[in-house]
A and B are shown apart, each in its own frame.
Chain A
């Protein structure tokens, strides 16, 4: 989780670990979300299908962790 938190903070330092509306609350704009997805793919060696790039999977660190585990 620390590695993931560091990735998110690199993209937008204002996002805290307990945030639960990262995408739905527009804390990341489209460019930042794309950058985050790209960084996650590279860091974890996974490919995230476009259908999975959604608020459901990116609104919180917990949701992102679950997604990474599924991929």
Chain B
């Protein structure tokens, strides 16, 4: 597998992250398609840094910054969080890398953060990510009909969840790789 490192996102990454975030193939399945400028991007990042309920990493593949992955919405009361990943550099997208990133995050959430559940919401049209999430152990919990409105069009959202028990079951049938995860 390519050498994959998840390193904490830094202020100096924001111009790159901003460009990635506004790529049509990336924003297509996000809740918003913002028009960002570097000032807005930096303000967003400062807000993330000042909050204590999330983690943002830059995905580096063979030393090349290639995407973003995150654990956010950490809710200690209800012992859950959400997650997201995108690899913006197309030639760095491999099944091995993306699934290893997923597995690494699952271990982080359940073993290091000690939470009980990861929940995600995926555009129903993003069939490949819904499919991949289920392969990795997520279970579909519901569909939010016409839940997101972008440019006057309403989109259904699929809700998926993975509990600690789901992960324990998944581990029995998945010889997964992990990647280097740096937490500051």
Contact B90 A29 (CB under 8 A): yes
Which residue in chain B gives the minimum CB-CB distance to A35?
B128
A-contacting residues, B71-101, CB 8 Å: 87, 90-91, 93-95, 97-99
CA distance A57 to B127 in the complex (A): 22
Residue of chain A at shortest CB distance from B98: A30
Instruction: Bits for A1-41, please: 1 = Cβ < 8 Å to B, else 0.
Output: 00000000000000000000001001001110111011000
Q: Tell me whether A53 and B135 are in contact (CB under 8 A).
A: yes
Identify which of B97, B127, B128, B174 contacts A51 (C-beta below 8 A): B174
Interface-central residue, A23, A37, A50, A51, by most chain B CB under 10 Å:
A50
Interface size class of B (residues with CB under 8 A): 10 to 19
Find out whether the CB atom of A34 lies under 8 angstroms from the CB atom of B131: yes
**Closest residue of chain A to B135, judged by CB?**
A50
Question: For A53, what are the chain B residues with a Cβ–Cβ distance below 8 Å?
Answer: 95, 135
Within 8 Å CB of A37, what residues of B? 131, 135
> What residue in chain A is nearest B87 (Cβ atoms)?
A30
Q: Are A38 and B90 in contact (CB under 8 A)?
A: no
* Interchain CB contact (< 8 A) of A29 among B93, B99, B127, B132: B93
- The answer to whether the Cβ of B175 comes within 8 Å of any Cβ in the partner chain is yes
- The main secondary structure of chain B at its interface with chain A is helix
Question: Contact: A30 with B97, CB < 8 Å?
Answer: yes
Q: Does A45 touch B at the CB level, under 8 Å?
A: no
Q: Give chain A nearest CB distance to B142 CB in angstroms.
A: 21
Roughly how many angstroms separate A26 CA and B94 CA in the complex, as a whole number? Answer: 7
How many interface residues does chain A have, given as a range? 10 to 19
Kindly list chain A residues whose C-beta atoms are within 8 Å of the C-beta of B90.
29
Interface string of B12-42 (1 = CB under 8 A from A): 0000000000000000000000000000000
Residues of B within 8 Å of A35, CB to CB, are 127-128
Give the docked Cα–Cα distance between A49 and B175 (Å).
Answer: 11
Determine how close the nearest CB of chain B comes to the CB of A22; give it in whole angstroms.
Answer: 11
The 9 lowest CB-CB distance pairs between A and B, nearest first, are: A29-B93, A30-B93, A30-B95, A34-B128, A30-B98, A38-B131, A33-B95, A34-B132, A50-B135
Interface residues in chain B, defined as those with a beta carbon under 8 Å from any beta carbon in chain A: 87, 90-91, 93-95, 97-99, 127-129, 131-132, 135-136, 173-175
